[in-house]
């Protein structure tokens, strides 16, 4: 988006330069606006968005119809997380300069963030009509089509973007996740390597000096595996560590501090966990945990899915057994209704505790909140026959959560790290998915080749959590009856 702003500002400034008469004085309104726009651009490119905003507002004070300033303010609003405010600037910018494809494209991005997918698509289509050789709206169109589960149309959009700009990393990664959700692993893992060209990757991946491990057998080598993204990804792909150990002398695992104690259950033999605060021993090659499915040429039919491959500390299991009290015939169900708000798709993947309250009328079930944070508050129906016990505030790290899960009968959660933990422990877990889920859950099926003990509940329509919880309630009634038999 920054490139769109730079391109448009410079185009406008160049146009003004060619139209300016040599004898005209610089104190005319047009020249003054030209100079101020250039100053605003300089502030923006330097990352000083507050001063840039002030400058562009200064332009509008004297020239309210200045489309460049309106568009620039829209970009600044969107970067600040105010997509609604961005639309309010992009719309008049388009009214005053309706043939500018970048304006339509960026307005589409704001509508996409707001969840108005149809308007977003209309904006992208207009941008494409105005500038068929402009790759960005094709790639952005792919994102929206993917979010609408229109996967084959999304692939076509991404491939068109890449035909116009073969180096567009965001289009390659978008194509990757669309291929993977359809089960096309061979192409999907290859395309997913392009994530390394994204700025978000350079912000999260460590800078390592040794060479990348490419999956080859190196009998005398030490390979460092590192966590690149979130907790759930690390738990899902650390399953490959023993396979890496079969091809080298030693494996070191470096991950998030919250996972150190849990991943210690992998230690022993050729595998060691490097604590987050500890120095890393010398190593010969490295790989991200997210590289491993591609390096092992994993397909949907040969995922290494023997569970459990992680384990809770025995002393933790015993401590939580005492804290939760004597077991009875009542089902113990752990729940989580929201992931991290920093996740790009959290608005779609998370629900609310109010949705879970739909289950409160089921008899002979005790619910335990596994949420470390309680977005939206912590309320449960006062007349509930199934009580809810808050545990999140007492949880230390994921080894603690694992010990709790080992004392439960079932985990029910939206798509967050909790489901990966329960799946890796080999415990029964029901995962609640949005209409267009993350790539790893594939399409249509209600099981997953990644976790044999997991059951998937999918939204039949975008945002329809009510239907999901109708299905969950019916299934929980069956589970309760089975446990009492």
The residue among 131, 164, 193 that closes a domain is 193
Residue 447 scores a pLDDT above 50:
yes
- We report the CATH number of the domain holding residue 318 as 3.40.50.2000
19 part of a folded domain: yes
What pLDDT, on a 0 to 100 scale, did the predictor assign at position 393? 87
199 part of a folded domain: no
User: How does pLDDT run across 208-223, given as a tens digit for each residue?
Assistant: 888 999 999 999 999 9
Q: Label residue 24 by pLDDT band (50, 70, 90).
A: very low
Lowest mean per-residue pLDDT among 179-188, 465-474, 475-484? 475-484
291 lies in the same domain as 363: no
309 part of a folded domain: no
110 part of a folded domain: yes
The Cα–Cα gap between 209 and 420 comes to 31
- We report the CATH number of the domain holding residue 14 as 1.25.40.10
User: Can you tell me the mean pLDDT for 156-161?
Assistant: 98
User: Do 161 and 138 form a contact (C-beta atoms < 8 A)?
Assistant: yes
Chain centroid, CA 1 distance in Å: 19
263 part of a folded domain: yes
439 part of a folded domain: yes
Backbone angles phi, psi at 212, to 5 degrees: -65, 140
23 lies in the same domain as 171: yes
238 lies in the same domain as 188: no
285 lies in the same domain as 329: no
DSSP 48-113: -HHHHHHHHHHHHHH-TT-HHHHHHHHHHHHHTT-HHHHHHHHHHHHHHSTT-HHHHHHHHHHHHH
Query: What is the number of residues in the chain?
Result: 485
The end-to-end CA distance of the chain, in Å, is 60
147 lies in the same domain as 216: no
Residue 166 DSSP label = T
344 lies in the same domain as 439: yes
324 lies in the same domain as 287: no
Percent of the chain with pLDDT over 90: 73
* CA 438 vs CA 104, 232, 458, 465: distances in Å: 28, 12, 12, 16
Q: What 3-state DSSP class applies to 262?
A: helix
User: Can you tell me the mean pLDDT for 86-98?
Assistant: 97
What pLDDT, on a 0 to 100 scale, did the predictor assign at position 99? 96
Q: E-strand spans in 320-419?
A: 331-336, 365-369, 388-390, 410-414
User: Do 457 and 433 form a contact (C-beta atoms < 8 A)?
Assistant: yes
Residue 432 scores a pLDDT above 60:
yes
29 lies in the same domain as 105: yes
179 lies in the same domain as 321: no
Query: In the numeric block, which tokens belong to residue 344?
Result: 């790009």
Q: Label residue 8 by pLDDT band (50, 70, 90).
A: low
Query: In the numeric block, which tokens belong to residue 8?
Result: 């448009």
Residue 377 scores a pLDDT above 80:
no
137 part of a folded domain: yes
In sequence order, the β-bridge partners of residue 413 are 336, 431
Query: In the numeric block, which tokens belong to residue 402?
Result: 């694992």
Sheet holding 285-288, edge to edge: 211-212, 285-288, 218-226, 248-254, 271-274
Angle at which helices 83-96 and 67-79 cross, to 10°: 160
* CA 191 vs CA 166, 296, 443: distances in Å: 12, 15, 19
Number of domains making up the chain? 3
Lowest mean per-residue pLDDT among 272-276, 299-303, 378-382? 378-382
368 lies in the same domain as 445: yes
The Cα–Cα gap between 369 and 413 comes to 10
CA–CA–CA angle 274, 278, 282 (5° rounding): 65
Percent of the chain with pLDDT over 70: 89
User: Can you tell me the mean pLDDT for 260-275?
Assistant: 93
Query: In the numeric block, which tokens belong to residue 456?
Result: 């998937």
What pLDDT, on a 0 to 100 scale, did the predictor assign at position 318? 97
Residues 6+ apart with CB under 8 A from 107: 74, 86, 87, 90, 91, 94, 123
Residues 6+ apart with CB under 8 A from 398: 231, 235, 258, 259, 261, 262, 417, 421
- Specify the DSSP element, H or E, that contains 14: helix 2-19
267 lies in the same domain as 406: no
The residue among 193, 227, 245 that closes a domain is 193
User: Can you tell me the mean pLDDT for 328-333?
Assistant: 90
Residue 17 scores a pLDDT above 60:
no
The Cα–Cα gap between 168 and 163 comes to 10
- Dihedral of CA atoms 286, 292, 295, 298 in degrees, nearest 10, equals 170
Q: Label residue 45 by pLDDT band (50, 70, 90).
A: confident
Residue 484 scores a pLDDT above 80:
no
What pLDDT, on a 0 to 100 scale, did the predictor assign at position 15? 45
The Cα–Cα gap between 278 and 435 comes to 42
The residue among 264, 295, 326 that closes a domain is 295
71 lies in the same domain as 184: yes
What pLDDT, on a 0 to 100 scale, did the predictor assign at position 254? 94
Please provide the average confidence, as pLDDT, over all residues in the chain.
Answer: 89
What pLDDT, on a 0 to 100 scale, did the predictor assign at position 151? 97
What pLDDT, on a 0 to 100 scale, did the predictor assign at position 346? 72
The Cα–Cα gap between 40 and 68 comes to 11
Residue 268 DSSP label = B
90 part of a folded domain: yes
Residue 3 scores a pLDDT above 70:
no
For residues 192 and 45, the model is more confident at 192
Residue 150 scores a pLDDT above 60:
yes
DSSP 193-238: GGGGGSHHHHHHS----SEEP-S--EEEEEEEEE--S-HHHHHHHG
- Which residues constitute the domain of residue 411? 314-484
CA nearest to 236, candidates 197, 263, 268, 205 = 263
């Amino acid at each position: 988006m920054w490139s769109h702003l730079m391109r448009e500002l410079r185009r406008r400034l160049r146009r003004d330069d060619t139209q300016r008469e040599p004898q005209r004085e610089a104190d005319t309104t047009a020249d003054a606006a030209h100079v101020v726009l250039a100053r605003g651009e300089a502030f923006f490119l330097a990352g000083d968005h507050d001063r840039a905003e002030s400058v562009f507002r200064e332009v509008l004070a004297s020239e309210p119809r200045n489309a460049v300033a309106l568009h620039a303010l829209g970009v600044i609003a969107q970067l600040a997380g105010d997509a609604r405010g961005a639309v309010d600037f992009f719309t008049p910018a388009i009214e005053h300069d309706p043939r500018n494809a970048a304006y339509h494209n960026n307005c589409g991005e704001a509508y996409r963030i707001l969840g108005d997918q149809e308007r977003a698509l209309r904006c992208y289509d207009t941008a494409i009509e105005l500038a068929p050789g402009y790759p960005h709206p094709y790639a952005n169109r792919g994102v929206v089509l993917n979010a609408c589960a229109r996967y084959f149309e999304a692939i076509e959009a991404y491939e068109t973007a890449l035909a116009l700009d073969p180096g567009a990393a965001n289009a390659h990664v978008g194509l990757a996740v669309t291929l993977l959700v359809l089960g096309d692993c061979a192409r999907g893992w290859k395309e997913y390597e392009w994530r390394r060209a994204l700025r978000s990757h350079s912000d999260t991946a460590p800078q390592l000096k040794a060479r990348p491990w490419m999956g080859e057998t190196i009998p005398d080598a030490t390979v460092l595996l590192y966590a690149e993204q979130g907790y759930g990804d690390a738990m899902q792909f650390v399953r490959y560590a023993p396979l890496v150990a079969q091809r080298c002398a030693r494996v070191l695992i470096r991950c998030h501090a919250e996972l150190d104690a849990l991943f210690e259950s992998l230690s022993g033999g050729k595998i060691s966990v490097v604590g987050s605060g500890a120095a890393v021993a010398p190593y010969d090659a490295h790989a991200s945990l997210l590289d491993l499915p591609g390096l092992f040429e994993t397909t949907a039919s040969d995922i290494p899915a023997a569970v459990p491959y992680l384990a809770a500390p025995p002393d933790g299991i015993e401590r939580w057994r005492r804290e939760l009290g004597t077991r009875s015939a009542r089902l113990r169900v752990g729940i989580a209704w929201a992931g991290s708000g920093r996740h790009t798709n959290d608005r779609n993947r998370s629900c609310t505790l109010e949705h879970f309250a739909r289950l409160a009328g089921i008899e002979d079930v005790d619910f335990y909140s596994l949420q470390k944070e309680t977005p939206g508050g912590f309320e449960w129906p006062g007349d509930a026959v199934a009580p809810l016990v808050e545990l999140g505030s007492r949880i230390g790290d994921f080894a603690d959560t694992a010990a709790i899960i080992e004392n439960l009968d079932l985990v029910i959660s939206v798509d967050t790290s909790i489901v990966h933990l329960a799946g890796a422990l080999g415990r029964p877990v029901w995962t609640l998915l949005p209409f267009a889920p993350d790539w790893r859950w594939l399409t249509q099926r209600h099981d997953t080749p990644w976790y044999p003990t997991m059951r998937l509940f999918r939204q039949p329509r975008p945002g329809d959590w009510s239907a999901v919880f109708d299905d969950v309630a019916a299934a929980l009634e069956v589970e309760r009856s089975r446990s009492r038999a």
